[in-house]
Amino acid sequence: MTAYEQFEQHIAELNDILNSISVLKWDARTNMPSGGAATRGNQLATLSRIAQEHFVSDKTAQFLDAAEAEVASENKDSYRVRAVQQTRQYFELVKHIPVEVTSKRATLAPISEQVWSEAKQNNDFASFAPYLQQMLDLSKEQAEAVGYTGHPFDALVFEYEPSATAASLKVLFDDLKAGLLPLLKKIVANDKPLEKDLWQHEYALDKQKSFGWEMAQKIGYDTQRGRLDIAPHPFEISFTRNDVRITTRYNLNYLPMALFGTLHETGHALYEQGVDPSLTRTALTTDFLGQYPVGGTSYGAHESQSRLWENQIGRSREFWEVHFDRLRQIFPEQMADADPDLMYRSVNRVKPSLIRVEADEVTYNLHIMLRTEIEMGLLDGGLKVTDLPEIWNAKMEEYLGVTPPNDSKGVLQDVHWSGGGFGSFPGYTVGNVMSAQFLKAAHEQVTGLDASLGHGDYMPLLGWLQSNVYRHGRAYSANELLQRSTGTELHVKPYLEYLETKFSELYGLS
């Protein structure tokens, strides 16, 4: 074997371990009985310790040194060179994280998530607070071990969005506010009730699943390499490109919850299924920090695809002109007096609301800014866990003009903190911005794309995304993907133009 082949085999074994961890996490969130949380934590801790010890071992250092020498003269953009570079970068980072921190977090996570789920159901933040405090303490310990020059948040956001910092996110958020807040103000001033409320009916859950599953396949989800399950908080997870699973949740009276949750997670799944087969079990489909061995280069890049397929495609007028008749076939009574235009307007209503995952496109990023500011306060000591319900409600009123009636619809609504996901939220906003840049470039580069989307043919768009984004796995950074496919780095103009155009037409704004 060559030096690179030895290195590749060593990383493939790490990838296998991380995939085994992900299988246990998927099971914990979908099928595991509540009584299994503690022992599942022990299993995850054991595997997480094995994974970290495997990665930061002397053997990894030896294989890395030899592989670096072998690829030194190769094209700097080749997959081999990028695989070695990324492994070196994360090897130097992960070796500073105490194995005890990784093990403790893995042990705590399934228990904490189970407590969170029950606390949310029972509107009982106090029962969850001690577990959140433990997760926060472990995250702080990791941040100090990794090191940072600005804010402790910088050490954790790197895990999800390597190019982001607290300072750069402030600039991004300020740029977005400058466009979003005036638009929201105009929309609220021009808002009028719809002639019919489509969500006053019951939508049988089995039929909701059937329609969502059908739409997932329409936009390209390969069901031979995937499945759809139920989870308290929807997510996508992959165990290589050949096993990519999605989840959603259902509301009997609110069809959009499950439908757009399914489309959102399908967008993630398309990314994973579209990775070049040659990258399977390599460094370019391995998350060395142990969240998931995802193929995507960052959470923002991944969210760009979930948000693109959910919103820019799934909430488009063209989508409902094509698929409304099928929805009416499945729900003939509920949709008897409706048409594609009413459906389009119904799924694009702008209204400041309580729940992030159900927020409209104009207000969604305000939810992310709120969470990011809270995380920064928790990490630098400016905020205390016990104060979170009050702080959350105050910020909801400040940003969105609404106050949660209880903690279940407030501070307890997201699963992320229960698993230690501090730093993950900004990826949603970065993804929103990236999605508009990608789609704009696709329209410029794919002949007849408007016509194909208007006929419900999503393969030309999917093909462009596979070629320019998905196939590369983690080879290129988010900004490199943007530069290579659109010619520009991350910037808010295309996204704000998309929102301004869409909602000015919807609300008759000048």
The rounded distance, in Å, linking the Cα atoms of 446 and 425 is 32
Query: From its phi and psi, is residue 265 left (phi > 0), alpha (psi between -120 and 50) or beta?
Result: alpha
Helix (H) / strand (E) element for 228: namely strand 226-230
Backbone φ and ψ for 277, nearest 5 degrees, come out as -55, -30
Compute the C-alpha angle 232/375/355, nearest 5°: 40
Q: How far apart are CA 358 and CA 347, in angstroms?
A: 10
DSSP-derived 3-state class of residue 234: coil
Q: Which of 265, 310, 361, 375 is catalytic?
A: 265
Indicate if the alpha-carbon torsion angle 483, 293, 314, 216 is positive or negative: positive
In the numeric block, the tokens 């390209």 are attached to 220
Give the type of residue at 281: R
The C-alpha atoms of residue 129 and residue 455 are separated, in whole angstroms, by 50
CA 266 from chain center: how many Å?
Answer: 11
For residue 291, CA distances in Å to 83, 96, 159, 214 come to 18, 17, 9, 30
Given a contact cutoff of 8 angstroms between Cβ atoms, the answer to whether 481 and 297 are in contact is yes
Residue reference for tokens 């923002």 = 300
Active site includes 100? no
> 213-223 b/e with 16+ CB inside 10 Å = b?
bebbebbbbee
DSSP class per residue in 119-169: HHHHT-HHHHHHHHHHHHHHHHHHHHHH--SS-HHHHHHTTT-TT--HHHH
Token pair 């599942």 in the structure block, residue: 40
Distances (CA, A) of 453 to 189, 313, 318, 319: 32, 8, 7, 8
Question: CA torsion sign, 382 to 387 to 388 to 389?
Answer: negative
Question: Which tokens hold the place of 316?
Answer: 């488009």
Q: What is the DSSP string of 327-374?
A: HHHHSTTTTTT--HHHHHHHTT-----S-GGG--TTTHHHHHHHHHHH
Residues with a catalytic annotation lie at: 265
